[in-house]
Structure 1
Amino acid sequence: MTRHEGFFQQRQPAAVLKHALLREYTKVFASTVGSQDRARPVWVIDGYAGAGAYEEPDPEGTHPDGSPLIVLKMAEGFQSKELSALLATDRVIPVVHGISYEDLRDESPLLASRSGLSTGEDTLEQVAVKIANAVRPEQG
Structure 2
Amino acid sequence: MKSLKYFLLMLVACFALSSCSEEDESVNYKPVPSPFSVQVNGTTTVGAAATTITATIAAGTNGWWVDVPTGSWCGFNSAVTSYAIYGSGDKIVTIYVAANKTGETRTQTVTFHPTFKLDPVAITITQGAQ
Scaled by the length of structure 2, the TM-score of the pair is 0.24
Say which one has the larger Rg.
Answer: 2
Greater share of strand residues, 1 or 2?
A: 2
> Whose helix proportion is higher, 1 or 2?
1
**TM-score, with structure 1 as normaliser:** 0.23
